[in-house]
Amino acid sequence: MKFTNGYWLIRKEIDPIYAVEYGYHRIDGDTLYVYAPGMHIAGKGDTVNAPIITVAFTSPRENIIRTEITHFKGRVCKGPFFEVDRSGTEVEIIDEDEQLIYRSGKMEAVVSKAPGAWHVDYRYEGRTLTQSGYRNMARMANRETGRTYMTEQLALEVDEQIYGLGERFTPFVKNGQVVDMWNEDGGTASEIAYKNIPFYVSSKGYGIFVDNAGDISFEIASEKVECVQFSAEGESLAYYVIGGNEPKDAISGYTALTGRPALPPAWTFGLWLTTSFSTDYDEEIVTSFLDEMKDRDIPLRVFHFDSFWMHGYEWCNFAWNEDVFPDPKAMLERYHKRGLKLCVWINPFIAQNSKLFDEAAGNGYLIRRKDGSIWQTDMWQAGMGIVDFTNPDAEKWYQDKLEYLIDLGVDSFKPDFGERIPVKDIVYHDGSDPVKMHNYYSYLYNRAVFTLLERKMGKGRAAVFARSGTAGCQQFPVHWGGDCTANYLSMAETLRGGLSVGMGGFGFWSHDMSGFEQCATPDLYKRWSAFGLLSSHSRLHGGKSYRVPWLFDEESCDVLRYFVKLKCRLMPYLFEKAVESHEKGIPMLRAMVLEFPEDRACRYLDLQYMLGDSLLVAPVFRPDGEVEYYMPEGRWTHLLSGKTEQGGCWKKETYDYMSLPLFVRENYIIVTGNRDDVPDYDYTDGFTILVPEFEDGAEYRCLLPTVEGENAAVITAKREGSEITVDVSEKLNWNIRKIGAEPQRIEQAENRAVIILNE
């Protein structure tokens, strides 16, 4: 939201009140209140008829400082409010002659006391992260509308890049963009997003989380190119400054504050196949797909029934369409005996023709208008209402309907939608602000579904496939990127969205392999299959046509089979990274800047990524197989060919469908398993440690997980001179293989192996 015309002029309808200088302060426990007048105070008389901005500093956790700026504190401020961990920390408040210091761990806010020069410096380990200064912190009033806004501008340094703000499909670096926090169903080819998260990460290593669930507006080096500006309607605005030395620190701090991702069960990492959206299907057609996948030796772990498992015009009634599925319980049992997990599509809408509509309406379970009538629309489903998850009874009612399906044999749900939530003339059961509830609704919706699955299945065994989201939704994985189109441009924008949402702590992310809208060419299907199976989660899904590979060409079956089996073999490595995401909040699919924050070239890369910390992936986005990618410094070993290349430069190569740039990082190891038919198996039995190039003196440590996510062993690798020693902390069945340059020999004992290099 813009309030100025250039640097000097305020828009004619705007009356600003700026924090001009330090006035005085008060300390209340661990809170520091600083009062900043809206004008220079030269004498006592200047305190009359003069506004003031109150700035409150608190710290919910170590190395995080919350700043709240308020004009009129008597204004009603309705929820919802983001749930954050305020476990607390020791703070230090230092009052000096020229400045005030509010310190939490290594993080501090320093307030200048200089007359006429309002300034707050945010420092981490003594290093300035960002600042608020002259005409940055303000209250803006619009005379024409009567609305008031609080705004803050935080300084940027020369060559500082900003990332995040949700799953955005626009350029990965957000500098120069205007971003509004408003969930909408716009597909992947637009500036609007399904998952808006008011949190951004700086290339300098810090993060800013704006503590407001409403329609925050961000101007990222746009209205004022020296700053990131954010503003919201009202008389108060709060934000957290999360200290760190690199972007990983900021993401980890943010997820410690708003919640770490749950660990999805290992079976979710296998291949998902769906009916697609509007295709005709019944048990015979579904079974034919399953038989064909088995006959072609393409491992399938999850089958998903999309919208029309229910009768049209009746979404959601949570009842199987008996014309198509006359005995769903028996059908699900048959599919379970095949070794499949099963998922069904749901949404939070109750159509007027659903047998549940009157039940929900009569009990007050649907969102209402101010006159007491139910809010309804014909968009999507005729006469539909929307479940009011602010009503605990409505949430339980909704969960009860899903629980019946779980007891019938359903293992997971796809909670679709959650973005089309009305605002005008709306009243919620708990009195929430409809504007703030627009985005926050996705949190209540996804939480309701996920926590039910967790209660029924147990911790570590629950997973959804959700589309909408806001801050905190990362706790309820998995999320997918929404409606993309079957072309290379959309494949690339999908990746940008995944990298962007990963900067917001969403550890587990997927997308519609080969595109949702339209139908892919065989070429695109094969390239997208490789990308999809080198994502944390992998699903074949489409709109009006099936996405089974034999409908494209025979080679598509070969490519899909190859990469599904590769992913299954990689599961010991991938699941360790999943556990890391669960414990630290770092995404599995990582922008290059997360692993190489000091490499300036990596700051802008959005056509490649790191899968965990060890694997570089560069999908192919051209039908001729040519791919251009950047390889950071060091020696990199291609996982599939064993070829070793020197990094620190750009590469341009051509790959066939059975390969792509997939390189193991120098001084890191990859642990692979002994099965390629399922993703969930005993990773501790018969695993292989792949050792690429190591520098002399380099050491790497990783954990070998069990299929439940527990720590089974510690694996360390260290090079000293011409030997690389690999130790496994437990007595297990394992092998070792050197990839890249062939060694002179390998000597393996029970818990140790020594690789003697040819040097």
Q: How sure is the predictor about 88, in pLDDT bands with cuts at 50, 70 and 90?
A: confident
- Per-residue pLDDT tens digits for 584-628: 999 999 999 999 999 999 999 999 999 999 999 999 999 999 999
Q: Which of 108, 249, 419, 576 is catalytic?
A: 419
- Per-residue pLDDT tens digits for 375-419: 999 999 999 999 999 999 999 999 999 999 999 999 999 999 999
Is 680:709 a contact under the CB 8 Å cutoff? no
Q: Is 419 a catalytic residue?
A: yes
439-444 mean pLDDT: 98
468-493 mean pLDDT: 98
Q: Which of 215, 223, 416, 493 is catalytic?
A: 416
Supply the pLDDT for residue 207: 98
Helix and strand numbers, DSSP H then E, in the chain = 11, 49
Supply the pLDDT for residue 140: 98
Longest dimension (CA), the chain: 88
Is 436:79 a contact under the CB 8 Å cutoff? yes
Residue 273 pLDDT greater than 80, yes or no? yes
Q: How sure is the predictor about 118, in pLDDT bands with cuts at 50, 70 and 90?
A: very high
- One-letter amino acid of 658: M
700-720 mean pLDDT: 98
Pick the CATH number of 14-154 from 3.30.70.20, 3.40.50.970, 2.60.40.1760, 3.10.110.10: 2.60.40.1760
3-state secondary structure of 672: strand
Query: Tokens 């998260």 appear where?
Result: 197
Supply the pLDDT for residue 225: 96
CA-based nearest residue to 417, from 169, 166, 261, 195: 195
- Per-residue pLDDT tens digits for 57-77: 999 999 999 999 999 999 999
Supply the pLDDT for residue 40: 96
Average pLDDT, the chain: 97
Supply the pLDDT for residue 722: 97
Supply the pLDDT for residue 384: 98
Supply the pLDDT for residue 704: 98
CA-based nearest residue to 494, from 738, 729, 188, 220: 188
Beta bridge partners of 702: 715
d(CA 108, CA 121): 8
d(CA 572, CA 259): 25
Supply the pLDDT for residue 635: 98
| Pairing verdict, β 426-427 and 368-369 | antiparallel
- Per-residue pLDDT tens digits for 525-578: 999 999 999 999 999 999 999 999 999 999 999 999 999 999 999 999 999 999
Residue 439 pLDDT greater than 80, yes or no? yes
- Per-residue pLDDT tens digits for 280-290: 999 999 999 99
- Per-residue pLDDT tens digits for 367-376: 999 999 999 9
Q: Quote the tokens at residue 157.
A: 């340094």
Supply the pLDDT for residue 584: 98
Is 42:218 a contact under the CB 8 Å cutoff? no
- The yes or no reply on domain 266-349+391-421+437-552 and CATH 3.20.20.80 is yes
| Pairing verdict, β 52-58 and 31-37 | antiparallel
Supply the pLDDT for residue 521: 98
Q: Quote the tokens at residue 362.
A: 């009569």
Residue 690 pLDDT greater than 90, yes or no? yes
Q: Which of 483, 580, 595, 693 is catalytic?
A: 483
d(CA 371, CA 68): 35
Domain locations in the chain as residue ranges: 14-154, 266-349+391-421+437-552, 682-756
Q: Is 416 a catalytic residue?
A: yes
299-307 mean pLDDT: 98
Residue 759 pLDDT greater than 90, yes or no? no
Residue 334 pLDDT greater than 90, yes or no? yes
d(CA 17, CA 558): 65
690-712 mean pLDDT: 98
